[in-house]
Structure 1
Amino acid sequence: MPRTAPRICPLCEATCGLTLTIEGTTVTGARGDRDDIFSRGFICPKGASFGELDADPDRLRLPLVRSYGPDGARGALREASWQEAYDLIAARLPPIAAAHGPDSVGVVLGNPNVHTIAGSLYPPLLLGALRTRNLFTASTLDQMPKHVSSGLLFGDPFAIPVPDLDRTDHLLLLGANPLESNGSLCTAPDFPGRLRALRARGGTLTVVDPRRTRTALLADRHLAVRPGTDALLLAALARVLFEEKLTDPGPLAELTEGMDDLREAVRDFTPEAVAPACDLTAGEIRTLARELAAAPTAAVYGRIGSSAVEYGTLASWLVDVLNLLTGNLDRPGGALFPLSATDRAPRPAGPGKGFALGRWTSRVAGHPEAKGELPLAALAEEIETPGEGRIRAVIALAANPVLSAPDGDRLDRALAGLEFMVSVDPYLNETSRHADVVLPPPPPARSAHFDYAFNGFAVHNQVRYTRAAVPPEKGQPDESEIHARLILAVSGAHGADPATVDDLAIGRELARAVADPHTPVHGRDPHELAALLTGESGPERRLDLRLRLGPYGDGFRTGTADTGGAAEPAGHTPAPDAGGPGLSLARLLEHPHGIDLGPLRPRLPGPLRTRSGRIELLPAPIAADLPRLRAALADRPAGLVLVGRRHLRSNNSWLHNVPALNGGSNRCTLQIHPEDAARIGLQDGALARVTADGGALEAPVEITDAVRTGVVSLPHGWGHDRPGTRTSVASARPGVNVNQLLDGSRLDPLSGTAVLNGFPVELAPATPAPTGRN
């Protein structure tokens, strides 16, 4: 008989609740969970395809290991046992690190890591075991500018305010298309419905985007800005607020330093000076500034289109500067700091350690680290360039940088030259095909789920956890065990019980907690506390620990959760439906559809970790980068520039093998305005040759006035045409890899983020013309 089970969707940042229909061990359907306390039944095409993804016949079920010839030559990949796979890792990788140093091993983390429990819990332990500084993640392809700007402003790169979508009166979106992407660094199930509700209650939606996206079509005002000029526009808005005496930080004025310096820093960015570069009018800029200031509440929100650009960190910084100047930072209806159930419990505000950039640099080009990471665009050169510190081995966790990073052809060649490589990936894809060992995690229905990362960016405080809906296949370890055994294999403890990894992590966390006078367990016996933890597995015990020590937790005792005497706003006690005085895993399991922890509330100064204990409006790295933005006032690109685009049925490169998500038109086409197409001589459906810094490609043309003149658009994550992969659906409609147009030299200097939007390209008709569109 069919049964149903709840499951949080792991396929995008919206984290919607699903109800799975299961027959035996097969997921036969997925619908929105109407009882989910956060998503209330909303579902998108990605969530609806959950069963198809779960049962994908191309998913690897057993590890793959590489055969070697008598002379050590690398042969083909073949299926192997889990024991053989870990034996090979333990035999090959530690000797490389011992001979050449810990930095000879590079670690690459892809976006899917933050969509799983294991991907959130174990990479820090792996990095600790390896002691390498060569960490590369997808953050330097999308969101690192926001982490850097938040670190500089607030002292914590994870203190990221999100727009209070359900209560704001005016929402300004820059470079964001949530009707297609479902949101980013703003976890909001049914983002489209929330925007429609904003309009329905009389609010205003303004969208700044060079394309007339589905989100732009919903807006009251769409400003088709020239790509890459978002920071100029935001600086001009700040300039108007100062000039017309419209600034009003409210109570945050006492928590802010550098206001006079900020006023001087934006002095040159008048609307009249900025308008030509942005291709807007000075009147449009002034009107927008005045409306933001006049709105009862307002929030400014910028994402990939304003982040993965030449001035991404400056744009991200100015988003929060505007929220503060208009009195909307840390205010209901403005932009607030979420407080997740596994966050640190509130503690007294005051000076912190602050945030530093460039604590070390990459070996070859000298790129500064940001948040402990180096630019993913630099990975190929770190592998290829001889010398001490060269990366000789790579561990890739749910990462496909051959498609997602600039110049995939160069990275493809570099990975082929490694001495050893491990991939944790369910697919043999464009990157994992280079691995010597591929460790496949189980399908998502066979994994538990908790959103450690995305609850910290949620537009409503809540907590949800779902256990695996389907038991693991015989002999198949869960994803957490796969990661734990990998850590043991690289750390010299190969063969030890994987549970020891979780026990060690729990012991460390409890040791820190009992030594901290601001926690409710200060001075207690960590062994006694460890014995009180519940759960069926190490990851569940770790979740129980973080829930109990979190801001809504039971503090390992009966009674109301302790706030540790912190100067936090009142009201952060468990919601009435939490089933008791404080959160724990046991309480959460009693509520399979989640627990509502209440709307976002003002939290400052609690989240501040700057050295001054205040919001530092004009940090030194920002001030040093502003002359570069001033120079951009004179820039007028003579040719075309390229931007990416999102699609509701896609998420980077990792959902292209699902038939339900890889159909339809407008997938991997080059969108171009009719005027530009006529000038260049391009025909709809014909191939265009696109050339840029890193090379050239040919893509089918889609002529549309949805993209403004001077701009062309090609989506990210395609190019599934390399040999040696096992992704039959994706390979049948491969598309082209837009990042092959880049050579990795264009980076936002503060964050190391690749410039994936607004870079110059040249177009020409390709010959011979094709017979149809991809």
Structure 2
Amino acid sequence: MSTALRICPLCEATCGLTLTIDGGRVTAARGDRDDVFSQGFICPKGAAFPEVDADPDRLTRPLVRENGALREATWDEAFALVAARIRPLIEQHGPNAVGLVLGNPNVHTVAGALYPPLLIGALRTRSLFTASTLDQMPKHVSSGLLFGDAFAIPVPDLDRTDHLLMLGANPLDSNGSLCTAPDFPGRLKALRRRGGTLTVVDPRRTRTARLADRHLAPRPGTDALLLAALVHTLFAEDLVRLGPLADHVEGVEEVRHAVRDFSPEAVAAACDLTADAIRTTARELAAAEAAAVYGRMGSSTVAYGTLANWLVDVLNVLTGNLDRPGGALFPLSATVPAPRPAGPGRGFALGRWTSRVSGHPEAKGELPLAALAEEIDTPERAPGEGRIRALITVAANPVLSAPDGRRLDAALGSLDLMVAVDPYLNETTRHADVVLPPPPPSQSAHFDFAFNQFAVRNQVRYTPAAVPLAEGRMDECEIHARLILAVSGMHGAPPSAVDDLAIDTTLAKAVTQEHSPVYGQDPKAVAARLTGATGPERRLDLMLRLGPYGGSRDAADGGSRDARDGGSRGARDGGSRDAADGGGSGGLTLDVLRAAPHGIDLGPLRPRLPGPLKTRSGRVELLPAPIAADLPRLRAALRDVPEPGTLRLVGRRHLRSNNSWLHNIPALTGGSNRCTLQVHPEDAERLGLTAGAPARITGEGGELTAETEITDTVRPGVVSLPHGWGHDRPGTRTTVAAARPGVNVNQLLDGSRLDPLSGTAVLNGFPVRVSPVL
């Protein structure tokens, strides 16, 4: 029996785990008390790591379709089939005839971070769809428009703020999103203990709302109206205080004019809140010594998602809390390229191309996942127009996660070819012609490329595979590399060729950039210095060397010593400070990181402006043109006051769940983790609903029947059904999930409701009808 460290890959908190290994299997998991970031915190998902790892329904060999049925195959046979069938489709119908769908679990793996960009480049397709348009794309779009970079996302400085205004987020169940914070609940409780204020805006009295000093429960989908009224109040009561931000912001007076119609009195009826409550919220936010506004799923997956996310940061700017300790700051991840000199950039563009059928504009290079079905099943109006004929899905289950799963389910059956990289035969991958299963997480190394960009404290951690790769398995990175070779016409080349090309391409550019730590050096000599036993490790080493901590100590945005000294939480000694300095002038490398198995603390977040700005002006552009053009739609919503008795549906997250991909784990399916329709007692009485009895829910896309749960945790006029269920289709191999399938809430939608700027599906706040099943 032995132990091994592993960063948990099951949610965005990225907690450090200590795994117990017995006979080559993970038998237990506990929190790593020496982890520099999570310090021993663990949630039920992390504790269930052994069950996730050993799930008997995980596929162990590739599957290929033969005579209409899937059978086990060798790895060589599976990749040969992909290579033989996909290239003729591309040559005949063009690159856009191949669609690519990237699911949520991608950002939880090394392979999912390193290889999809290369796969997109190899395919040269514009038919890219990801889970972002079911979740977070409004934040990327608003950040791109405000700051010039879709990944320049400020996060609340949870450990130092005095006032947190949170909208549409329930981190006591979700553990946080676009705000990577182990023990989010503990951090919120610490805020309260030090005399700070927590205000939660949510139509449900969630576990997080019950912790708050103030809970506002507006009508679902009205977050943007509420936020606009808060901005209006700041201007009307002369509470705008930009402070040092004044030198970096333009468009303040334009925003004042843009929100002139959104007074608290004007929005009160639509939001179903009092004007006094709105005005008080604005005053308290402005009066706090350090405050942050944070919005997530509930304010993103609604009709005005991009406007709501824009207004979140407008509030942070106008109160002087953007880019200041205790406010909302920009993290500095160890693997992002070393910051370029501040100044004007290229900016952020929307709608560079549009989808074939409905003309949806791209956002961040992606098309709305809600439009995937029509891109497959709508005939071409002209030859070569780009109907999707082949689809590659990577860790994605859009039949459950996207609107109108029935249509997508049927469309997938009409494809000429479908390839899936997935450990399960689920509601989506059951249609695949080739399934390439990655190994269990214990058999893979882990580094959080994505989530460190949203972390509430700068830190860096790497954990190698805890268990050797089992016989017959293939490393997930090799699966991705061989898939890239298969689709690019290089089938049969060594997988290392993909990593070598990525390294050579990166270095060829880096040595020409004056701000790069390797400027002017011989790229071959730099490549020869890289360490790591595998291609992915060499690429990680390169990213660390080229990152903000990879050069001298002063490379991290102009002096990182202050960032590592001080801070209210998480700073540990034990050599981590010297490691963060790179052991002197050598900088951060993979070898330095390996020498710190519990991670390296890089200090609290600190002000970085104007460094992160890439707008054409080099400033925060507070009222971008696409935002201004969308505001008339929000003004029209002032008149959208529903008739009495109208119901709007919202989703909910369970602590023991993460979308659809943990419903097959027995330890995570019990307790309150149930697919029930929550209804307020007043609505239940009016509608004749009985607790435990079935209720019929009807929406624009169809109807469902779910068990009724009567509770006053939802406000009147609101019903709630969780996301990610509906495991009742034939042909899957998820035994536990199929035994308790629940219903797919997204089947109530027909896919027509989208936030126009981001293409994000409206999954919350849409109207439904509910009746008892007699």
Tell me if TM exceeds 0.5. yes
2-structure distance, mates of 1:249, 1:82: 59
Q: Distance in 2 between matches of 1:125 and 1:360?
A: 20
Letter in 2 for 1:440: P
Identify which of 585, 589, 602 aligns with 1:584: 589
Q: Which amino acid aligns with 1:549?
A: L
1:772 is matched with which residue? none
Q: Is the Cα contact below 8 Å between 1:310 and 1:747 reproduced in 2?
A: yes
Corresponding position of 1:5: 4
CA contact (8 A) 2:553 2:560 kept: no
> Which among 518, 522, 542 is matched to residue 519 of structure 2?
522
Whether 1:732 aligns to 2:739 is yes
Give the distance between the partners of 1:632 and 1:668, measured in 2 at CA.
31
- Is the 2:266–2:638 contact (alpha carbons within 8 Å) kept by the matching residues of 1? yes
Q: CA deviation at 1:476?
A: 1.6
Determine if the alignment matches structure 1 residue 427 to structure 2 residue 419. no
Query: Is the Cα contact below 8 Å between 2:563 and 2:604 reproduced in 1?
Result: no
Q: Whole-Å Cα distance in 1 between the matches of residues 622 and 4 of structure 2? A: 48
Mapped to 1, the partners of 2:251 and 2:227 lie a distance apart of: 18
1:567 shift after superposition: 6.1
The answer to whether the 8 A contact 2:517-2:545 is kept is no
How far 1:698 moved relative to its partner? 0.4
CA-to-aligned-CA distance 1:489-516 (integer Å, 9 cap, x gap): 0100001000000000000011110011
Between the aligned partners of 2:733 and 2:374, the Cα distance in structure 1 is 27
Letter in 2 for 1:242: F
Match of 1:236 among 229, 232, 241: 229
**Equivalent residues in 2 for 1:204-283 (5 A)?**
204-283=197-276
Which of the residues 318, 330, 354 maps onto 2:323?
A: 330
Q: Following the alignment from structure 1 to structure 2, what is the Cα–Cα distance between the partners of residues 713 and 572?
A: 43
1:310-389 pair list within 5 angstroms: 310-387=303-380, 388-389=385-386
* Per-residue deviation, residues 137-162 of structure 1 (Å, max 9, x unmatched): 00000000000000000000000000
CA contact (8 A) 1:149 1:316 kept: yes
Compute the displacement of 1:665 (Å).
3.7
Could you tell me how far 1:569 is from its partner in structure 2?
7.5
Match of 2:284 among 280, 286, 291: 291
Per-residue deviation, 1:128: 0.3
Deviation at 1:577, TM superposition (A): 4.1
- The corresponding residue for 2:449 is 452
1:559-570 superposed matches below 5 A: 560-561=552-553, 563=555
Indicate the residue corresponding to 2:546 in structure 1.
Answer: 549
The offset of 1:517, in angstroms, is 1.4
Distance 2:141 2:594 in 1: 36
* Secondary structure of 1:300's aligned partner: strand
Letter in 1 for 2:749: L
The answer as to whether partners of 1:567 and 1:606 remain within 8 angstroms in 2 is no
Cα deviation for residue 570 of structure 1 reads 6.8
SS in 2 for 1:575: helix
Contact 1:520 1:562 in 2 (8 A): no
- Match for 2:770: what amino acid? L
Q: Deviations over 1:224-258 (max 9, x none)?
A: 11100000000000000001000001111111111
Gaps of 5+ in 2: 565-575
Is the counterpart of residue 611 in structure 1 residue 616 in structure 2?
A: yes
Q: Distance in 1 between matches of 2:641 and 2:697?
A: 20
Q: Return the alpha-carbon distance in structure 2 between the equivalents of residues 475 and 739 of structure 1.
A: 37
Q: 1:40 to 1:513 in 2, by over 3 A?
A: same
**Aligned residue among 607, 626, 641 for 1:602:** 607
1:668 corresponds to: 675
| Equivalent pair of 1:747/1:753 in contact (CA under 8 Å) | yes
Aligned partner of 1:689 among 690, 696, 703: 696
CA deviation after TM superposition for structure 1 residue 568, in Å:
7.4
SS in 2 for 1:354: coil
Deviation per CA, 1:740-761, whole angstroms, max 9, x where unpaired? 0000000000000000000000
Aligned to 2:47: 48
Q: CA deviation at 1:418?
A: 0.2
| Partner SS state of residue 753, structure 1 | coil
> What is the distance in 2 between the residues matched to 1:570 and 1:167?
19
- Equivalent residue, structure 1, for 2:569: none
* Number of equivalenced pairs: 754
The residue type paired with residue 563 of structure 1 is A
Contact 1:347 1:563 in 2 (8 A): no
Name structure 1 gaps, 5 residues minimum: 69-74, 768-774
Shift of the alpha carbon at 1:576?
A: 2.6
In the alignment, which residue of structure 2 is the partner of 1:627? 632
Contact (CA 8 Å) 1:396, 1:422: kept in 2 or not?
Answer: yes
Whether the aligned pair in 1 keeps the contact of 2:679 and 2:718 (CA below 8 Å) is: yes
Q: Distance between the aligned counterparts of 1:680 and 1:686, measured in 2?
A: 13
What is the aligned partner in structure 1 of residue 772 from structure 2?
Answer: 765
Calculate the TM-score normalised by the size of structure 1: 0.96
> Is this contact kept in 2: 1:347–1:567, CA < 8 A?
no
Q: Is the 8 A contact 2:579 2:588 kept in 1?
A: no
Q: Secondary structure at the match of 1:671?
A: strand
- Structure 1 residues 441-450 or 520-529, which shifts more? 520-529
Contact kept in structure 1, 2:678 and 2:714, CA below 8 Å? yes
Question: What is the alpha-carbon root mean square deviation over aligned residues?
Answer: 1.1
Q: What whole-Å deviation, never above 9, does each CA across 1:504-551 have from its counterpart, x for those lacking one?
A: 000001111001111121111101100000001000000000101111
Distance 1:409 1:158 in 2: 33
Specify the SS of the correspondent of 1:245.
coil
Name the structure 1 match of 2:529. Answer: 532
Counterpart secondary structure, 2:511: helix
Match of 1:575 in 2: 577
2:675, 2:725 → 1: CA distance? 7
In structure 1, give the amino acid aligned to 2:555. T
Once the two structures are superposed, residues 331-380 of structure 1 have per-residue CA deviations (whole angstroms, 9 ceiling, x without a partner) of 00000000010112122100000000000000000000000000000000
CA 1:666–1:31 in structure 2 vs 1: closer, same or farther (change >3 Å)? closer
Whether the 8 Å contact between 2:406 and 2:747 is mirrored in structure 1 is: yes
Which amino acid letter does the alignment assign opposite residue 247 of structure 1? V
Q: Quick one: distance in 1 between partners of 2:35 and 2:248?
A: 38
Partners of 1:437 and 1:237 lie apart in 2 by: 52
Letter in 1 for 2:637: A
CA deviation after TM superposition for structure 1 residue 666, in Å: 5.1
1:159 to 152, 156, 172: 152
| 2:138 paired with 1:139 | no
SS at match of 2:142: helix
Residue matched to 2:719 = 712
Indicate if the aligned counterparts of 1:62 and 1:80 stay in contact, CA closer than 8 A.
yes
1:202 aligned to which of 177, 195, 199: 195
Contact kept? 1:551, 1:572, Cα under 8 Å: no
Question: Are residues 1:754 and 2:751 paired?
Answer: no
Normalised to the residue count of structure 2, the TM-score between the two structures is: 0.96
1:641 equivalent among 644, 648, 654? 648
Contact residue 392 and residue 418 of structure 1 kept, 8 A = yes
Return the offset for 1:571: 3.9
1: CA distance, partners of 2:175 / 2:633:
33
